[in-house]
Chains A and B, each alone.
Chain A
Amino acid sequence: MVKKITYSLIALVLTACDIDWIGFVAPTSDTTEQRFEQSLAWNEEHGYVSLSVPLDNYSFYVGTDIHTETTVRNITSLITTLRNDSNAYFGLLTGDLVNQPNAFHNLMPAFTFNPITQARNDTLFACVGNHDLYFNQWEDYKYYWGTSSYWFDVKTPHYQDLFISLDTGNGTLGSTQLKWLRNILASKRTNYRHCIVYTHTNLFKEEESQFPTSNMTLEETFELTDLMSKNNVTLFLQGHDHNREVLLYKNVLYIIVDAMKDDAKNPFYMIATCNETIDYKFIAL
């Protein structure tokens, strides 16, 4: 433990230029509540996405904690593989897309369709992570992605599945986003085969793999896990911790996906396949 604290402090000092020190006492971008209002306004203006896929048992890709600085090797690899996978139709990115100021401008060209290397122009959906908020980068996130709290659905020949993105960049949903989530689940869940929720901050703290980054309060952890169970959510995807964790708790499958940043020791992404249940596998980069 002492070793871990020492290494963490050394790492903190070494990476100091990537840390927005204001964030230890105040929000580094707009607050959770303000961002949610902005996300909802964007949703109202642009509408909610509905994808149609030709297969009931389609796949989607999940990547997290890209932490882009200048290079985009791993995310380019994920996007290219996804767009050439005949069974997969979209991807989810669960936050911490960037690691330093202005890095969104380095990251975003990786999403541009390349007809030479890619068969289709599959969409990727994202939510915001705490690093994406440093140095007021919510403005950049909004410029490129528009919203972090939204839902979309996927229509297959016989079913439809619901995907919900949550903004937990500060380690909380906030009050209005929690109410919105309750309403979405209460009004929509029963119309769908699977419900997949994805967000950045991980709920559980079974070990100290990424000490000392924090997760949610206990009140919120208990509220969310109960809400997921009561609404029969199939899969709850998280990032933030950088280390894989798979946990079936109260009949809901919670997965933390490994970090896929370019300098990670063991970068992975995940491919999930919707059948009667959801199967998943982790792919090394």
Chain B
Amino acid sequence: MKQLLIVLFLSLSLSALTQDKAPISVRTYAEYGYNYTWGNYGGLAIIGNFPINSYFNLEGGINTNTSNVHAINTRAIVHFPLEVGDLTLENRYLYRLFLRNNTNDLSAAVLVGYTANHIKASLGFYGRVYGNIYWESHNESVANIMEPFNLIYNIEGQLFKQEHNWNLGLCVSNHDDFQIERMYKPLFTLRGNFIPVEHFNLLAEFVCKPVGIFHGSANFYGIYTRLGLIYTW
């Protein structure tokens, strides 16, 4: 029985690895932002996407900013192509170092996503743990705080179909490449892209982060903008 399972696993793996796969791509961008806590800040990010086959890809990225906050994000995404769009299952881990606050946080998420002509949407759950980077306390203080259950969501409408050589999208989400906010902290994003020549895709994003919406007393908190490109081999 064990041998049969091994043979089955190997044959599935081999068949997966020999599938046609999408090319590797690298996304990089610079960001400028302002929020009430950090003031003005700038940042850089680079994210690599590595398709294993046409059904499965891995993504990894790093981000650093002038507020002394740094992040690593990883994603594993399984695609289930349907006639009416692409269904995905994603497992995501985000680790951030808030060196300015002697705090780090780790979030783990599982999301189900759907992409069709003009729509991208995803919904899932995540948990978070955060605490001191350097633990110096000698009393009964807790070292880490758990936020065990949270919703993670994203819904985006786009002007043209996904394959169009330029596009504009409006998005409501509580996460992006390097942050996963609490479920009641939506980020509002205006996003655009343009493919000037083969291999290159230029990107621009403008994000507004309000607070207090679910308090019933909304207020400005922060904005950030990102400019960059995707290079696809």
Contacts and interface: CB of A to CB of B under 8 A. Distances in A.
Interface of A: 1, 19-21, 23-29, 31-32, 130-131, 133-134, 169-175, 178, 201, 204-208, 212-220, 222-223, 225-226, 247-251
Contact of A26 (B101, B215, B218): B218
A172 B211 contact: yes
A214 B141 contact: no
A179 to B, nearest CB: 9
A217 B181 contact: yes
Contacts of B211: 170-172, 214, 216-217
A208 B141 contact: no
B36 interface: yes
B98 interface: yes
> Which of B38, B140, B219 has most A Cβ within 10 Å?
B219
Contact of A219 (B35, B149, B213): B35
Contact of B212 (A170, A175, A218): A170
A222 B98 contact: yes
Nearest to A176: B36
A248 B212 contact: no
A214 B146 CA distance: 17
Contacts of A20: 216-217
B18 interface: no
Given A20-B216, A206-B146, A226-B102, A214 B38 contact: no
B27 interface: no
Contact of A222 (B130, B212, B217, B220): B130
A26 B212 CA distance: 9
Nearest to A204: B145
Q: Which 4 A-B pairs have the closest CB atoms?
A: A170-B219, A23-B216, A214-B184, A226-B101
Contacts of B147: 205-206
Contacts of B183: 212
A205 B217 CA distance: 19
B103 interface: yes
B182 A172 contact: no
17 contacts: A1-B149, A20-B216, A27-B218, A28-B217, A29-B217, A201-B215, A205-B147, A216-B211, A217-B222, A219-B222, A222-B105, A225-B101, A226-B103, A249-B141, A250-B132, A250-B141, A251-B141
A250 B137 contact: yes
B145 A249 contact: yes
Nearest to B67: A219
B37 interface: yes
Contacts of A223: 37, 100-101
B221 interface: yes
Nearest to B39: A175
B145 A206 contact: yes
B233 interface: no
Contacts of A172: 36, 211-212, 219, 221
A215 B221 CA distance: 13
Contacts of A175: 36, 39
Nearest to A229: B102
Contacts of B36: 172-175, 178, 220
Interface in B138-180: 139-142, 145-149, 179
A175 B36 CA distance: 4
B182 A214 contact: yes
A212 B184 contact: yes
B120 interface: no
A125 B215 CA distance: 23
Contacts of B149: 1, 208
Contact of B216 (A32, A130, A216, A222): A130
B79 interface: no
A214 B213 contact: yes
Nearest to B150: A205
Contacts of B102: 226
Given A205-B147, A217-B181, A170 B38 contact: no
B142 A217 contact: no
Given A217-B185, A217-B221, 9 more contacts: A130-B216, A169-B215, A170-B219, A171-B215, A206-B146, A213-B215, A217-B211, A226-B103, A251-B139
